[in-house]
Structures are given as structure tokens and as C-alpha cells.
Amino acid sequence: MLDGTLVTDAPFTQSPRTGRFLSYCRPKAKTALLLTVLLSAAVLSGCASRSARAPVADHSNGGAATAGAPATGTYVVRAGDTLYKIAQDHGMEVSRLAQLNNISNPTQLAIGQVLRLDGGTPMPSGGSAATTAPVKATTPPAGGESSGTAAGSAPAPVETSAARAGDAGLISWGWPSNGKIIQGFNATTKGIDIEGSVGAPVTAAAEGKVMYAGNGVRGLGNLILLGHSNGFITAYAHNQSLLVKTGESVKKGAKIATLGQSDTSSPRLHFEIRRRGTPVNPLSYLPPR
């Protein structure tokens, strides 16, 4: 749509030969109109050339690593690290990080373990075999004295429950998968990971409309985003196959995908709930089980 204005100096006159009305524009008016047309065309062309992207907005303090130069060198595992967090912080895919370091079980990271971030960096001495000291929260033992991380200590248990959110009753929620929780919610994960078998059903946690179905979000593999009432959005990542299309309406409990391990090192469903763009703990909304 063009919103330029045509300005004339003289009234409309009629051609004696054709009977058509003619108008005469000043050169400046013609130039202004031409610039308006060109600018409008450029804006429209720019909008049309943008590729479709998943409508993901994160209004929390944390955020995914922005695209940039590929990660290089090595990284030393610290307390609280997960393979997903390390990959996200360095703009890598989880599967690539696991492959570079011969990691078959992503939960078996050790504090002080050295991970390489690119194929050109030599494998650290000992590779990824240092798994006797799992990563866990650095909580001082009873008595108040910190004794460090003891080798062979069991990893911190995954939280499987949370206080009920005050607005949880706004929507009728259901579990998207029946597996056990293997990764809890925090500022980095922004959701929970549910273990499962490849091909197991993934169902809609609530009635809604498909906002996105594809694999255009780095690190989340085959992804589905559902929009719900009251500003809620749910995300279902790492699927094997997607069974719905963008714009499709779905009912609560409807099968929307099959569980997989796209962009992750083991079969799982990564599930998120966002309220007006802010990630919230799904366990505060999903019913007890």
C-alpha cells in the first residue's frame, strides 16, 4: 500500500484531441512521489524475503546463545553444568558436543572434566572417562563445613514436584508424555526433560492451536509450539516425527508427535510452558501423577 500524495500546480485541463484530463506536476512533487514508491517497495520486499521462524520469545533474564563464530578449544565442567547448558552456552548442538567427547550418557559429567568444543582440538588426556565424580549442587554437608565433591557421590535427585501455581487452574492441563523426569526446571533449561522410548506418543498438554511445527530452532530438533488461552504457550522438542501442521487446532491429549532424540544424545521430550513469554516450571501446572 502506498501513502504518497500527488501535488499539482495547475488545475486539470482537457486535451482537445483525446478528451482526457491531464495534470501537471512540479518536478519536486514527482521526485517525492517516486521516493515514496521506492521506499514502500523496499519495505514490502524486505518483509517478503524473511524466512519463516518459530515464534519463540523469551522474556526471562536468561537466553540462548546467539549465533556467532563456532566454538573452539576446550571447556572445564563446573558444578551445576549439564551437557545441554554447555552446548547452549557455546552455540552448539548437544549431539555434536556428545559426539566430540564420546559421551553416551549425558548425565555422567564430572566436575573438572575437560570437554573439547571442536574437532580440531586434541582429545583431552583421559578423554571423557572421568565420570566417578558426577556434577551435583555444591551444598555444604551437615555441620556447616564444606568438604568439596566426594568421588563416587550420587548426583542430586531431580525435582519431580513443585508448588502449585496460582494461575494453574486457568487451563485444563495434562501430561504430554508418561516417562520419568530426567531433567528438572531451572533458568537454563527453561523446562523439563521426560525420558521415553523412540516412537512413543507425545500428546498436547492442553487444547490449543499449532503456532509452529518444524526444526528451525537450533538445539531443539523437531519442535512443536502450541498456543493456548490466557497467554500460555507450550513447547515440545526433540521429537522423532511431527504429526500436526502450523495453524491446526488440537484437543488436549491429542497425539501431536512421536518422541525422539533429535538434537539430543538420548530419547526424551523437552517440554516447556511459557506464560506471556516467560518460562514457568511445568511441574507447577501439570497435575500430580
**Which is higher by pLDDT, 108 or 176?**
176
Residues of each domain in the chain carrying CATH 2.70.70.10: 168-284
* pTM assigned to the model: 0.54
Q: What is the pLDDT of residue 160?
A: 82
Task: Band the pLDDT of 73: cuts 50, 70, 90.
Answer: confident
Residues 6+ apart with CB under 8 A from 104: 98, 265
β-pairing, 13-14 vs 21-22, is antiparallel
Amino acid identity for residue 204 in this structure? A
Q: Does domain 168-284 have CATH number 2.70.70.10?
A: yes
Task: Band the pLDDT of 264: cuts 50, 70, 90.
Answer: confident
* Residue 73 CB burial class (10 angstroms; 0-12, 13-18, ≥19): exposed
Q: How many CA atoms lie within 13 A of 248 on its CB side?
A: 15
Which three-class secondary structure state does DSSP give residue 249? strand
Q: What is the pLDDT of residue 7?
A: 40
β-pairing, 181-183 vs 114-116, is unpaired
Residues of each domain in the chain carrying CATH 3.10.350.10: 61-138
**Enclosing H/E stretch for 225:** strand 222-227
Tens-place pLDDT, residues 144-172: 333 333 444 455 678 888 999 999 999 99
Amino acid identity for residue 1 in this structure? M
Residues 6+ apart with CB under 8 A from 218: 64, 67, 91, 93, 263
> Please, what CATH class does the domain formed by 61-138 belong to?
alpha beta
Tens-place pLDDT, residues 229-253: 999 999 999 999 999 999 999 999 9
Nearest to 93 by CA among 75, 78, 112, 71: 71
Tens-place pLDDT, residues 191-235: 999 999 999 999 999 999 999 999 888 788 999 999 999 999 999
CA distance 7 to 183: 66
